[in-house]
């Protein structure tokens, strides 16, 4: 009886789904212009201040960008597009499994 109970316990343990959680953070948002129109094709970069690692994404057709998996740390987040001034946020703190929404607004001018 004990062996049967033990076997049942072992089988039930291995049948429990395991859901892993990532310690990485996400940053997402929109990129708009001075008229609040959403802007596609903007290069958005996340630079880790401690490591210097640069991750780059483009805003999609709806002006949305998404960094799905950044290591926790302090970052500089920048948006650049030719014909617009680059917008940057310095010292953006990302914690373990953090989720940050950061909307970027570009102004017309030299840059990109």
94 has pLDDT over 60: yes
- The strand pairing partners of 58, in sequence order, are 43
Measure the CA–CA gap between 93 and 49, rounded to whole angstroms. Answer: 10
Is the Cβ–Cβ distance between 91 and 78 less than 8 Å?
A: no
7 has pLDDT over 80: no
User: Does the domain spanning 23-105 belong to CATH 1.10.10.10?
Assistant: no
Is the Cβ–Cβ distance between 77 and 102 less than 8 Å?
A: yes
Residue length, the chain? Answer: 112
9 has pLDDT over 60: no
Per-residue tokens: 6 = 């033990």
- The C-alpha angle 52, 54, 57, rounded to 5 degrees, equals 165
Neighbours of 96 (CB within 10 A): 11
Percent of the chain past pLDDT 90, that is, above it, reads 74
Per-residue pLDDT tens for 34-68?
999 999 999 999 999 999 999 999 999 999 999 99
């Amino acid at each position: 009886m004990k062996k049967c109970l033990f076997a049942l316990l072992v089988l039930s343990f291995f049948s429990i789904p395991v859901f892993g959680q990532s310690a990485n953070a996400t940053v997402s948002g929109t990129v708009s212009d001075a008229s609040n129109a959403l802007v596609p094709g903007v290069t958005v970069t996340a630079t880790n201040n401690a490591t210097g690692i640069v991750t780059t994404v483009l805003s999609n057709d709806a002006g949305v960008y998404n960094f799905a998996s950044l290591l926790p740390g302090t970052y500089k987040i920048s948006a650049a597009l030719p014909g617009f001034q680059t917008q940057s946020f310095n010292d953006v703190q990302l914690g373990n499994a953090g989720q940050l929404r950061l909307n970027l607004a570009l102004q017309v001018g030299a840059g990109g």
